[in-house]
Amino acid sequence: MSLQGIHQPDDADLFVRSRTSLAFHELFVMQLRMLLRTPQSITGSKQSQKVDEDIQNLVMESLDYGLTSDQVKALRTINALLCCDAPTSSLLQGDVGCGKTIVAVLAAFGMVGKKKQVAIMAPTEILAEQHMRSIQSIILASQAKGKAVAGLPRLALLTGSTKMADRKEILSSISSGKIDIIVGTHALLSEQVNFSSLGLVVVDEQHKYGVEQRARLLSKSIPSPHVLNMSATPIPRSLALVMYGEMELIAIREMPPGRIPVATSVLSESTKTRSQIGAEIRQEINSGGKVFVVCPLIEKKQDKEKGLISEEEEVRTVIEEKQRLSAEMSADTIGILHGRMTGDEKDTIVKQFLSGSIKVLVCTTVVEVGVNVPEASLMVVEHAERFGLAHLHQLRGRVGRGCRPYKCLLITNSNPTNLNRLRIMEETSDGFQVAEADLRNRGSGDLVGKAQSGHSSLIDANHIWDLPRDSQTVLAARSAAEYYLSSYGYNVDKWPAFLQEFLNDSSVVDLDVHELPNLI
């Protein structure tokens, strides 16, 4: 009936209802299959030893701040997952600064209390070092308050820059179980890294890793460890269910008290705008702040040769912008950072920016993750129309990490369409609202990947369903799938024949609509 209605509809209303019905069927099968891959499908409610909540409480008491209610809920959810016998997989997402890291660290401490090792993998050495310092400061705070030091974890940092002598000692300590929490980069994927009892893997900025890379780390333990993925790119729930529906989705929406919102302004390109930007940069530097200037491209000549811009396009690039700013202020205080630099060159520049020898960092979007500079108070994004809203929000999160007023200036051409699209950045600092707007404007795209628009590589474009049009249908399909699992359980062999046939062959679309819950 639905097939006839979509190919030979009597009216527009029948076409819409038929298309929605077919989209629902496709999404229902997808969500059902995803739910069948969750640990509950294997173990049911079987629980193993609980995480060590005593050490978690010990750490929380030593913090100079309290957790938000969302952080507490997220930790409880993760603790429950870590009690499962079968390995679980979850996605912890939330805005920059919402407190994902402390939740992950508390979960790690809880696993250490179960005599299990924890691996925390970050995409850059800078971010890995940052995590290491955060954990060390937490341990020192606990020690300073005279807590049970013996229960606190032993740490190690392993990156590509780790010296050979130190590397050998660290590798030996990991394999013997003398190290409880190992923080590192891709170096953790090395065949030389062998764990004694790996219980939890925390993957920060999980979209920066390929499936094979993540699988390689998980293969280092039998049975496989629990996995906690983290992402600072908020994803609309409908899209998250499509992309990560087999994971437990955990969102932290509440920001800690005292966080100062970043005042965002969308500015049209003009001589007056240029004068204003120059004044803003000088003012921030003179008052002790630091400035990011983000350009979409690296160098005009090379990018034109690569076809990234046409001959007639005038696009501000990192190289040219650095030269322009150097003519207006001290060149010694201006640095550049982009993807064509070596790892060592990048690390050197970031450390100079952190130390204050560089005041203005002209860069591409390589600063999107792993650069935590509390003194950074101004973010300038050139040609903001070339970026998605979620990407801009991520860049905006590079400032607003200290106690001073913060600004983000989005520079664009005077195209009314571009100006209107970017206004949402002025209206809200809620990353989930920004992501929803991005989904409406651009389609699903790879909001957590490299593709800036269009269909995601994770989503088959041949499906009838489409986001964001079918966002509510996704949620309905998920509810229906959960309803059937609660009714029939995870043993597919005991399901009704019609449902088994539908699950095994998604091309079967004649499942009577009344057999499904009335959710659409």
- Annotated domain spans of the chain: 2-35+471-515, 51-252, 262-428
Is 176 in contact with 169 (CB distance < 8 Å)? no
Non-local CB neighbours of 373 within 8 Å, separated by 6+ positions: 290, 353, 354, 398, 401
- Cis peptide leading into residue 468 (ω within 30°): yes
Non-local CB neighbours of 348 within 8 Å, separated by 6+ positions: none
- Residue 45's pLDDT band (cuts 50, 70, 90): very low
Q: Which residue has the tokens 């899209």?
A: 239
Tell me how long the chain is.
520
| Neighbouring C-alpha atoms within 13 Å toward the C-beta of 438 | 31
Residue type, 154: R
Q: Which residue has the tokens 């050490």?
A: 55
- The predicted-structure confidence for 120-169, as pLDDT tens digits, reads as follows 999 888 888 889 998 998 888 877 766 544 567 899 999 988 999 999 99
Q: What are phi and psi of 120, to 5 degrees?
A: -115, 115
Q: Mean pLDDT throughout 160-185?
A: 94
In CATH, which of 2.130.10.10, 3.40.50.720, 3.40.50.2000, 3.40.50.300 is domain 262-428?
A: 3.40.50.300
Which 3 state secondary structure label does DSSP give 381? Answer: strand
What pLDDT, on a 0 to 100 scale, did the predictor assign at position 87? 87
- The predicted-structure confidence for 449-467, as pLDDT tens digits, reads as follows 434 334 444 445 567 888 8
229: tokens are 């993925």
- Which carries the bigger pLDDT value, residue 325 or residue 312? 325
Looking at CATH, the fold of the domain delimited by 51-252 is given as Rossmann fold (3.40.50)
What pLDDT, on a 0 to 100 scale, did the predictor assign at position 180? 96
51-252 matches 262-428 in fold:
yes
Q: Which residue has the tokens 């077919």?
A: 22
State the chain's mean pLDDT as an integer.
Answer: 83
What pLDDT, on a 0 to 100 scale, did the predictor assign at position 175? 95
What pLDDT, on a 0 to 100 scale, did the predictor assign at position 19? 86
Question: Strand locations in 115-214, DSSP E?
Answer: 117-121, 155-158, 181-184, 198-204
- Which carries the bigger pLDDT value, residue 517 or residue 387? 387
- The predicted-structure confidence for 221-278, as pLDDT tens digits, reads as follows 888 899 999 987 778 888 888 888 888 899 999 988 877 789 999 999 888 888 999 9
Which 3 state secondary structure label does DSSP give 501? Answer: helix
Cα-based distances in Å from 29 to 23, 162, 183, 243 = 10, 47, 38, 14
Residue 215 has pLDDT above 90, yes or no: no
What pLDDT, on a 0 to 100 scale, did the predictor assign at position 446? 45
